[in-house]
C-alpha cells in the first residue's frame, strides 16, 4: 500500500494530498513518525558537543517534521470529517502521543542540555526572537515536569496520558449526542420561521432523509434560529432541553464521570508541579498571571451585566403578558421574545437583514477588510486536493507575493464538530528555509441555496478569519512562536478585534447587498442595525460570564468535589437569572474538557475583549477605520509577531499604553448601568 505521508506532496505550495489520505494511512504514518522523532531526540540528547542554542533549541525546532505533518492532517480530519475509523484511531493515538511528548519533556539528559543553554542565555549574544524561543522551550519543559524526579515524574506522565484519552472521549460523546438527535417538523410547527431559515431546515431534512419536510438539529446554527423565531412554544422547549443536555443524558455518551476524573487529574497535576490548584498552574503562563486577576475582571463585568439582564428579563416578561401569555418567561422563550421586543423597540427585524447577508458576499467582505488593513489579496484555486467538496482554497498574496494558503470549510454536516474554529495544516516559519502557512477556518453554517447568514453568523465568519490572519500574516523564524502560538488570553485579540470591521458602514454598504437584486442594504435598515447593536447584551454577557466563572471555579475546587454540584453552587453564588442558562454547561463544555486548550481559560475571551475594544478605539481616535499608521502598528506588533514578544509589551507597542476596561463596558452597552 502506498502511503501519501511517505511521498513528496506535489500539489501547489506543497499542500497535503487530502483527496488521497484515508484512515488506513494513519497508523503506519504515526508508527514511522514516532520512531523518526524519537531517534532525532536521542541524537540531540546524546550529542557530544557542548550544548548550544543551535544544537539544542534549533535542533528541537527542526525535529519531528513527519510527526507534525501527520498530526496536522489527522487533527483536521478528526474535527471536520470524522468517522468510526478515525475516532478509533483518535482514541488509540491519544495516550501514545501523550506518552511520546512526556518522554521528551521529561528526558533528563535532554533537559540538562537545554537548561545549560538557558543558564547561559544572557551571554550567548542571542537576538530577541532567539532568546524568546529559548525561554519558551525551557518553560515548556518545566511546566511539563522536566524537573520532577522518580515516582512524581512517572505519575505526571500517567496523568497526561489519561487526560488525553478522556478529552477525546468527551469530544466524541458531545458529537454523538449532537448527531443522534433530530427534531422533525411539520409546516405548522415551522410557523414564524423566516424563509431563509425554513429553507435550511428543509435542506437538512433532505440531507438526513427523514419523512418530515423540515428538521432541526443540535448544531448551534440550526438550534438558535429556531429558538429565536419558532411560534410553537412546545417545540422550542423540546429543542432547548435537548440542546442544553448534550453530554448529560442517560446513554453511553454521558460525560459526568469524565468531567469528575479530568478535574481530579488536573488538580493532581497542578499539585505535582507545585501549584495550589490547576487554575493557578494554567494562568501562571498567561497575561492574567493569576486566577484572582482573571476572576476580578469577570466579576467587574458581572455586576453591570446581571443588572442589564434583569432589566431585559422584566421587559420580556411584560411583553409575554401584553401578548396574552399566561406563563412565566422560561429559557426557551428568551430568544423568541427578545426578537419580538427588538422589532418593537427598534422597528428592526433581524430577518430583514438576511437577504442582504449573502454568504459569498460576506467572504468577500472579510477579504476586502484584510486588503484595506494589510494589503492582502485572495485568489481562489480550483482543483486543489480537499477532504470534502464543501472545502474551498485561496492563495493569499501581499505585494504580489504568495504568503500562504487559506482553506474555508463553512457548512455543518455529519462527522463535523459543532462550533467554529481556526486550525492549520502548516504553520509559518523559516528555521530551514521559508515555510508558508496553510490555514483553515471551520464554521457550521446551515447549507442552503441561497445561503444567507444571520448577523451573528457574519460575526463568526469575521472572528474566525481574524484568527486565520493571525496565522497567515505571521513573520517569525521559529515554529514554537508562529502565528497563534501565544497565550490563551492574547490569542482571541486578533479575532475579536477583526469583528469590529463588520459593522463599519464602508464594509456593509459594499457587501451587504440583496441576494436577488444586488441593491445595497438600505441606509434606514443599516441605521437600525447599528442602533440596535447593544440590544440583548445583558443576556449575551451573562450567559458567557456564567460559563467563564464555572470554568474558573471548577479548576479551584478541592479534591473530591462533585462538579455538577459545584456548577449549581456557582450559579447560586453569582445570582444567575434562572431564565438564562450558561452558554456552555459542563457536560458539553468542549472548550474546557475536549482537551486542555481553554481549561481554566474560558475567561480569555473577556480578557481579550478588553484589549480588542480598547484597541479599536485607536482607529476611532484616528477618525479612520482603516488608518494606515494604526494598521501598520497592528500588523507589526499583533498580527505578524506571533509569540516573539511579551504580550503586554506587544499591546503597548501597538496602542501606546495599557488597555482600559471602559471601552469593553461601553462596547457592550453596560457603561451606563455600571455608573448607576
In this structure, is residue 176 part of a structural domain? no
pLDDT category of residue 676 using cuts at 50, 70 and 90? very low
From CA 221, how far away is CA 78, in angstroms rounded?
21
Percent of the chain with pLDDT over 70: 99
In this structure, is residue 174 part of a structural domain? no
From CA 185, how far away is CA 205, in angstroms rounded?
9
Of 472, 496, 511, which residue is a domain's last? 511
Q: Helix axis angle, 26-46 relative to 65-80, nearest 10°? A: 140
Residue of 220, 188, 237, 418 lying closest to 336 (CA atoms): 237
In this structure, is residue 250 part of a structural domain? no
18-27, 148-157, 182-191, 350-359: least confident range: 350-359
For the chain, helix, strand, coil in percent to 5 are 60, 10, 30
Write down the mean pLDDT value for the chain.
95
**Shared-domain flag, residues 450 and 327:** no
What CATH number is associated with residue 301?
A: 1.10.1370.10
In this structure, is residue 674 part of a structural domain? no
Question: Over 50: is that where the pLDDT of 674 sits?
Answer: no
Question: Over 90: is that where the pLDDT of 152 sits?
Answer: yes
**Shared-domain flag, residues 276 and 235:** no
**Shared-domain flag, residues 19 and 131:** yes
Summarised one tens digit per residue, pLDDT across range 304-327 is 999 999 999 999 999 999 999 999
What CATH number is associated with residue 491?
A: 1.10.1370.40
pLDDT at 675: 39
pLDDT at 558: 86
Which residue range is the domain that position 204 belongs to? 194-244
What CATH number is associated with residue 129?
A: 1.20.1050.40
**Shared-domain flag, residues 359 and 501:** yes
C-beta separation of 20 from 11 below 8 A? no
Place of cell 462550533: 419
**Shared-domain flag, residues 228 and 139:** no
**Shared-domain flag, residues 415 and 453:** yes
**Shared-domain flag, residues 433 and 298:** no
pLDDT at 673: 41
Of 511, 527, 552, which residue is a domain's last? 511
Sequence-distant (6+) residues with CB within 8 A of 430 are: 477
Summarised one tens digit per residue, pLDDT across range 645-670 is 999 999 999 999 999 999 999 889 88
Question: Over 90: is that where the pLDDT of 351 sits?
Answer: no
3-state DSSP call for residue 57?
helix
According to DSSP, the residues that pair with 183 across neighbouring strands are 216
Burial (0-12, 13-18, 19+ Cβ within 10 Å), 675: exposed
In this structure, is residue 160 part of a structural domain? no
Q: How many domains does the chain have?
A: 4
**Shared-domain flag, residues 16 and 54:** yes
Average pLDDT over every residue of 346-373: 95
How many residues comprise the chain?
676
225/350: higher pLDDT: 225
pLDDT at 185: 98
Rg of the chain's alpha carbons, rounded to an integer? 25
Summarised one tens digit per residue, pLDDT across range 277-288 is 999 999 999 999
**Shared-domain flag, residues 224 and 273:** no
From CA 396, how far away is CA 298, in angstroms rounded?
38
Number of Cβ within 10 Å of residue 344's Cβ equals: 12
**Shared-domain flag, residues 138 and 199:** no
**Shared-domain flag, residues 386 and 324:** no
pLDDT at 211: 93
pLDDT category of residue 8 using cuts at 50, 70 and 90? very high
pLDDT at 670: 87
Q: Which three cell numbers stand for residue 477?
A: 523564524
Summarised one tens digit per residue, pLDDT across range 438-471 is 999 999 999 988 999 999 999 999 999 999 999 9
Residue of 95, 70, 115, 255 lying closest to 160 (CA atoms): 95
Residue of 527, 517, 520, 500 lying closest to 625 (CA atoms): 500
Q: Which residue spans within 493-599 are E strands per DSSP?
A: none
pLDDT at 300: 94
In this structure, is residue 78 part of a structural domain? yes
Between the ranges 401-405, 560-564, 658-662, where is the mean pLDDT highest? 401-405
In this structure, is residue 179 part of a structural domain? no
From CA 364, how far away is CA 353, in angstroms rounded?
17
In this structure, is residue 180 part of a structural domain? no
Question: Over 90: is that where the pLDDT of 178 sits?
Answer: yes
From CA 362, how far away is CA 74, in angstroms rounded?
29
Active site residues: 464
From CA 22, how far away is CA 86, in angstroms rounded?
9
**Shared-domain flag, residues 359 and 503:** yes
pLDDT at 1: 75
Amino acid at each position: 500500500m502506498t502511503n501519501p505521508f511517505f511521498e513528496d506532496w506535489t500539489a501547489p505550495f506543497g499542500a497535503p494530498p487530502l483527496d488521497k489520505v484515508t484512515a488506513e494511512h494513519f497508523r503506519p504514518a504515526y508508527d514511522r513518525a514516532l520512531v523518526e522523532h524519537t531517534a532525532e531526540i536521542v541524537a540531540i540528547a546524546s550529542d557530544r558537543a557542548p550544548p548550544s542554542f543551535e544544537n539544542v533549541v534549533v535542533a528541537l525546532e527542526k525535529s519531528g517534521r513527519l510527526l507534525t505533518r501527520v498530526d496536522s492532517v489527522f487533527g483536521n480530519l478528526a474535527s471536520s470529517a470524522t468517522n468510526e475509523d478515525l475516532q478509533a484511531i483518535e482514541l488509540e493515538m491519544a495516550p501514545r502521543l501523550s506518552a511520546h511528548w512526556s518522554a521528551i519533556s521529561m528526558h533528563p539528559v535532554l533537559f540538562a542540555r537545554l537548561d545549560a543553554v538557558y543558564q547561559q542565555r544572557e551571554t550567548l549574544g542571542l537576538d530577541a526572537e532567539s532568546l524568546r524561543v529559548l525561554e519558551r522551550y525551557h518553560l515548556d519543559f518545566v511546566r511539563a515536569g522536566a524537573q520532577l524526579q522518580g515516582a512524581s515524574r512517572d505519575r505526571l506522565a500517567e496523568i497526561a496520558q489519561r487526560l488525553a484519552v478522556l478529552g477525546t472521549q468527551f469530544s466524541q460523546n458531545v458529537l454523538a449526542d449532537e448527531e443522534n438527535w433530530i427534531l422533525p417538523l411539520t409546516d405548522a410547527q415551522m410557523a414564524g420561521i423566516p424563509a431563509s431559515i425554513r429553507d435550511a431546515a428543509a435542506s437538512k431534512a433532505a440531507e438526513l432523509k427523514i419523512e418530515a419536510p423540515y428538521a432541526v438539529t443540535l448544531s448551534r446554527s440550526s438550534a438558535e434560529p429556531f429558538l429565536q423565531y419558532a411560534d410553537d412554544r412546545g417545540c422550542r422547549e423540546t429543542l432547548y432541553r435537548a440542546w442544553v443536555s448534550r453530554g448529560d443524558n442517560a446513554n453511553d455518551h454521558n460525560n459526568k464521570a469524565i468531567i469528575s476524573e479530568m478535574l481530579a487529574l488536573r488538580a493532581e497535576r497542578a499539585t505535582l508541579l507545585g501549584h495550589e490548584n490547576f487554575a493557578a498552574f494554567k494562568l501562571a503562563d498567561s497575561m492574567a498571571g493569576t486566577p484572582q486577576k482573571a476572576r476580578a475582571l469577570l466579576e467587574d463585568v458581572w455586576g453591570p451585566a446581571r443588572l442589564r439582564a434583569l432589566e431585559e428579563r422584566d421587559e420580556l416578561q411584560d411583553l409575554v403578558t401584553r401578548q396574552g401569555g399566561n406563563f412565566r418567561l422560561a429559557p426557551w422563550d428568551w430568544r423568541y421574545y427578545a426578537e419580538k421586543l427588538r422589532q418593537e423597540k427598534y422597528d428592526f427585524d433581524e430577518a430583514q437583514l438576511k437577504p442582504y447577508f449573502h454568504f459569498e458576499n460576506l467572504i468577500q467582505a472579510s477579504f476586502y477588510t484584510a486588503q484595506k488593513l494589510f494589503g492582502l489579496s485572495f485568489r481562489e484555486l480550483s482543483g486543489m486536493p480537499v477532504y470534502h467538496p464543501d472545502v474551498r482554497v485561496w492563495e493569499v498574496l501581499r505585494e504580489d507575493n504568495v504568503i500562504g494558503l487559506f482553506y474555508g470549510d463553512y457548512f455543518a454536516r455529519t462527522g463535523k464538530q459543532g462550533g467554529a474554529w481556526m486550525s492549520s495544516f502548516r504553520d509559518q516559519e523559516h528555521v530551514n528555509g521559508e515555510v508558508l502557512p496553510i490555514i483553515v477556518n471551520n464554521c457550521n453554517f446551515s447549507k442552503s441555496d441561497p445561503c444567507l447568514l444571520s448577523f451573528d453568523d457574519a460575526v463568526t465568519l469575521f472572528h474566525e478569519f481574524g484568527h486565520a490572519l493571525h496565522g497567515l500574516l505571521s513573520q517569525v523564524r521559529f515554529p514554537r512562536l508562529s502565528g497563534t502560538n501565544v497565550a490563551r488570553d492574547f490569542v482571541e485579540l486578533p479575532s475579536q478585534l477583526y469583528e469590529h470591521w463588520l459593522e463599519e458602514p464602508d464594509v456593509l454598504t459594499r457587501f451587504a447587498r440583496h441576494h436577488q437584486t444586488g441593491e445595497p442594504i438600505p441606509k434606514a435598515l443599516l441605521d437600525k442595525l447599528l442602533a440596535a447593536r447593544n440590544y440583548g447584551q445583558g443576556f449575551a454577557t451573562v450567559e458567557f460570564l456564567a460559563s467563564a466563572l464555572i470554568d474558573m471555579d471548577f479548576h479551584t475546587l478541592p479534591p473530591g468535589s462533585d462538579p455538577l454540584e459545584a456548577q449549581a453552587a456557582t450559579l447560586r453564588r453569582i445570582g444567575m437569572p434562572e431564565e438564562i442558562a450558561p452558554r456552555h454547561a459542563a457536560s458539553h463544555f468542549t472548550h474546557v474538557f475536549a482537551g486542555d486548550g481553554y481549561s481554566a481559560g474560558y475567561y480569555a475571551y473577556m480578557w481579550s475583549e478588553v484589549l480588542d475594544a480598547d484597541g479599536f478605539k485607536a482607529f476611532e481616535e484616528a477618525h479612520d477605520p482603516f488608518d494606515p499608521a494604526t494598521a501598520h502598528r497592528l500588523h507589526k506588533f499583533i498580527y505578524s509577531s506571533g509569540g516573539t514578544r511579551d504580550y503586554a509589551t506587544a499591546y503597548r507597542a501597538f496602542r501606546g499604553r495599557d488597555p482600559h476596561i471602559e471601552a469593553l463596558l461601553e462596547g457592550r452597552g453596560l457603561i451606563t448601568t455600571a455608573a448607576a
